[in-house]
Every structure is written in C-alpha cells, then in structure tokens.
Amino acid sequence: MNKVANTEAQRMNFWERLYIPEIARGLGLTFIEMFKPRVTRQYPEVRWEPQGSYRGRPVLVNEDDGERCVACGLCSRVCPALAIEVQASETDRIKERYPVKFEINMLRCIFCGFCEEVCPEEAIVMSKEYDIVFQTTDEAILGKENLLKPVSELQDRLEFLRQWK
C-alpha cells in the first residue's frame, strides 16, 4: 500500500490547522479591495474602447467620393481562410475599377489582418468592433453595405498603420 508522505495537511503549522485566522485573513483582503479602484465594467452598458492596434472586424474604408477599394483581389488571394470574395467591375472614375461585390464571410474570418497588410490602397482595415453576433449563417456573410465605414471613424487604425506597418 502506498504511503503518502509530506502532504499539504502535514506541512501546515498549528495556526494554519486551526483555520479560523485564515478565514479572518481572507475576509480582510475582501474588505481592503472594496476601497481600491474597480477594474471590471458593466458590459454592455459600459464598453471597452480598444487601441488603434486592436484587430477587430475587417471593414472597407469609405471616402467622401466612394470606397477606396479597387477590387484588385489581393485580400481574397492572401486570406488563409478564404473568407473574402471580390467581384470587380468598371467605373468612370480615375481609378477605373471598383468592387461590384465584396463579401467577407465572418464565420471563416480568423482576424489575422493579412488582408489589411496586403492591401495596396489601404482600403480594408481592421476596425475596433469585437462583439460580432449573428443569428443565421447568411447573416454572417457581410456585403458591401455592412462593410463600408466612413474614413473619419477609422482614424485611429489608419494612424497606427502609418506608424507601424
């Protein structure tokens, strides 16, 4: 029969074995914490605002005169999860190509940020959105109407990219 030696109970001294002082010590710790500043939030009423370096849901940058994207398809090519599908078409603008369809399947997206890194136009960036919820699979495939975001909302990320990319 195995004999168990040097257990936690054997190592405890008399006061520890008595148990009551330890309870008092624990209660004391709780009491002290009540007067320290709080680190938790009342989510979703109180929300966390991430830094510019945060990689949230990828979005398309929308300027005043339309999207920056020229539908080159590099994001779609580099995407390791094959989440992005782009279909190009022709416009009359100086940049003669634009995406007539741009879909990101958020069920496939792994938030790696390769699409942002490869984009030659700085047109797709990672936003700060982190609470992404869907009720159906079709809803999770975001089209252009859900992806386009005005450039003013993305200043933090664009500044981060300018500095660190």
- Binding-residue pattern over the window 50 to 79 for another protein, x denoting contact by CB under 8 A: --------------------xxxxx-xx--
Tokens for 90, please give them: 């022709």
- Closest CB to another protein among residues 27, 81: 81
Report whether 129 contacts 56 (CB < 8 A): yes
- Got the DSSP string for 61-111? EEETTEES-----HHHHH-TT--EEEEEEE-SSSS-EEEEEEEEETTT---
Considering the rule CB under 8 A, would residue 88 count as an interface residue with another protein? yes
121 near another protein (CB under 8 A): yes
Q: Which is nearer to another protein, 103 or 128 (CB)?
A: 103
Interacting span for another protein (CB under 8 A) from 14-22, 81-89, 125-133, 146-154: 81-89
Check binding of 125 to another protein (CB under 8 A): no
Query: For the residues of 107-155, what is the DSSP string, one character each?
Result: TT-----HHHHH-TTS-EEE-S------SSTGGGEE-HHHHEEEGGGGH
From 164, 85, 72, select the one nearest 118 (Cα to Cα).
Answer: 72
Q: Which one of residues 50, 52, 56, 97 is an interface residue with another protein (CB under 8 A)?
A: 97
State yes or no: residue 136 binds another protein (CB under 8 A).
no
Q: Are 68 and 60 in contact (CB under 8 A)?
A: yes
x-or-dash pattern for another protein, window 100-119, by CB under 8 A? ---x-x--------------
Interface residues with another protein (CB under 8 A) are 70-74, 76-77, 82, 85, 88-90, 95-97, 103, 105, 120-121, 137, 141
